[in-house]
Amino acid sequence: MALPSTVYKAQLQVADMDRHYYADHALTVACHPSETHERMMVRVLAFALHADEMLAFGRGLSAEGEPDLVRADLTGAISLWIDVGLPDEKALRKACGRAEQVVLYAYGRAADVWWDTNRKGLLRLSNLTVIRLDPAVTKSLGDMVERTMQLQCNIQDEEVWFGNGQQNVDVVRDILHAPSRTR
């Protein structure tokens, strides 16, 4: 018998001055039995960084070949596919074929080794963005987990601040690969 996911509730306030997006989101986040709190909070951070009315949590770990977060239009066409972790190159190629834009948030101590191993193939994917998150940041995010959370994310001049009222984290993002802006 498979273990059920644990459900977490979060009230997320997003103030993104770079995109002029200001909204509150009531999130219900299912944490898969094999998922760490750190990974779950990276998903919440990714939601905050890309928040809009059409962004939703995907099936992620529960279904192979599915995004962690997804933005699709009413026809089902995927405009944004977001994954977190260190997936293999083949999975990212497939995602890039299915979505207009793919963003990967790579994190963990092995992220640099993963990037060195996969860089050559991933640099050919013109609609892929790879962002490495600092391990100390993701650990701090994981430490914020409670069954019910009040979270805030402020973004200004590409600086990101994430907090829960007791802890605050300056999110350091290292963009390893991004689509060319001349397209």
91-142 tens-digit pLDDT: 999 999 999 999 999 999 999 999 999 999 999 999 999 999 999 999 999 9
- 60 has pLDDT over 80: no
- 53 has pLDDT over 50: yes
pTM: 0.94
Residue 99, Cβ density class (10 Å: 0-12 exposed, 13-18 middle, ≥19 buried): buried
- 181 has pLDDT over 70: no
Across the chain, mean pLDDT equals 93
Select from 61, 59, 57, 10 the least CA-distant residue to 35.
Answer: 61
Q: How confident is the model at residue 183 (pLDDT cuts 50, 70, 90)?
A: very low
In the CATH hierarchy, which fold is given to the domain comprising 20-177? Answer: Restriction endonuclease-like alpha-beta roll fold (3.10.640)
Determine the pLDDT at residue 62: 62
Residue 97, Cβ density class (10 Å: 0-12 exposed, 13-18 middle, ≥19 buried): exposed
**Average pLDDT score over residue span 172-181:** 89
